[in-house]
Structure 1
Amino acid sequence: MSLTALRNIRRWLLNGETFILVALFISLMLVAVTQIVMRNFFASGIIWAESFVRIAVLWIALIGAMIASRDGQHISIDVVVKKLPAGIRPIAQRLSALFTSAVCYVMTWHSLQFVLQEYRYGGIAFAAVPNWLCEAIIPIAFLIISLRYTISIVLPNSLSQ
């Protein structure tokens, strides 16, 4: 596969992340505003609106974290790294990326176990949408973040490109 093809795939995936984030945010706002209007003016509401809003916030937060990690803007404590001599700084950044990816891999594993448990339980989140499907973003997001930080160990500038 050529480098151009890989760049096109990467761009397509990054645009997909952004699209999902924007679509979720718009749907969250529409459902929330509709719910407010229906409750205040019609003494009614959408039965599943509160559940949808909670789950949409979870998805927005985790997709936002994925986007932050792709741009190298994820929360990090880099006060010490900035004070290090320029020659040592890349090593410290790689160690930080290693630690971050390790933590995210552990979170991926445990959140996957949680989602599998929810799948076996078979609960419903809202409408006919199962709990496990709503929670599936948790291991997916942590896996993507951990992969990005793992890549940044080998290619230190990969998070900011």
Structure 2
Amino acid sequence: MNLLSRLHRFLLQAETLLLVTLLLSLILIAVTQVVMRNVVGGGLLWADAYTRISVLWLAMLGAMIGSRRQSHLAIDAFVRFLPARWKNLMARLNNGMTGLICFAAALFSSDFLLQEYHYADLAFANVPNWWCEAIIPLAFFVIALRYSFAAFLPDNQTNPDA
């Protein structure tokens, strides 16, 4: 196994580990917040902001994982009725267009992130907003790369074990 394959596998495992860790921490904080409000009469000051930001991260990480498995939502009613030789071409075009759209979303969300950086507002506990929102352009960029690669790989296959 070459270095690039090992790096790719490490990044996939890190992505999954981050998703699981974030989900578990979100559940733990949310349950703690509910218990504290009902028992103590108050909760953690930063818990609501953390919960909102965690949901954003979970959604974007989930989209990244969905893109690595190509298990995204698709409207393919038309494609189902095409001859087999055209299905591969349509899948490649679909992946290519998805990649382009996600590259555009990454570009626009990077501009948004830069604006948030200059605004310098805090999300919670002295954590800047732009740190919390950095997942948006990163996720769109990763998704764009995955679909762009899928558009050009032989037989339109990505790594099924990914």
TM-score tier by shorter-chain length is over 0.9
Q: 2:157 maps to what in 1?
A: 157
What is the SS of the residue equivalent to 1:125? strand
Distance in 2 between residues matched to 1:158 and 1:53, nearest whole Å: 33
Q: 2:22 maps to what in 1?
A: 24
Q: 1:89 maps to what in 2?
A: 87
Structure 2 residue corresponding to 1:55, chosen from 53, 61, 65: 53
| Alignment check: 8 A CA contact 1:25 1:60 kept | yes
Q: TM-score when scaled to structure 2?
A: 0.95
Task: Report the identity percentage.
Answer: 46
Q: CA deviation at 1:4?
A: 2.8
| Alignment check: 8 A CA contact 1:72 1:160 kept | no
Structure 1 unaligned segments of length 5 or more: list them. Answer: none
Q: CA deviation at 1:159?
A: 5.7
Distance in 1 between residues matched to 2:11 and 2:73, nearest whole Å: 22
| Alignment check: 8 A CA contact 1:148 1:159 kept | no
Q: CA deviation at 1:9?
A: 1.2
Q: 1:34 maps to what in 2?
A: 32
Distance in 1 between residues matched to 2:114 and 2:26, nearest whole Å: 26
Q: TM-score when scaled to structure 1?
A: 0.95
Structure 2 unaligned segments of length 5 or more: list them. Answer: none
CA deviations on 1:1-25 (whole Å, 9 max, x unpaired) are xx63222111111000000000000
Distance in 1 between residues matched to 2:66 and 2:6, nearest whole Å: 20
CA RMSD of aligned residues (A): 1.1
Q: 2:111 maps to what in 1?
A: 113
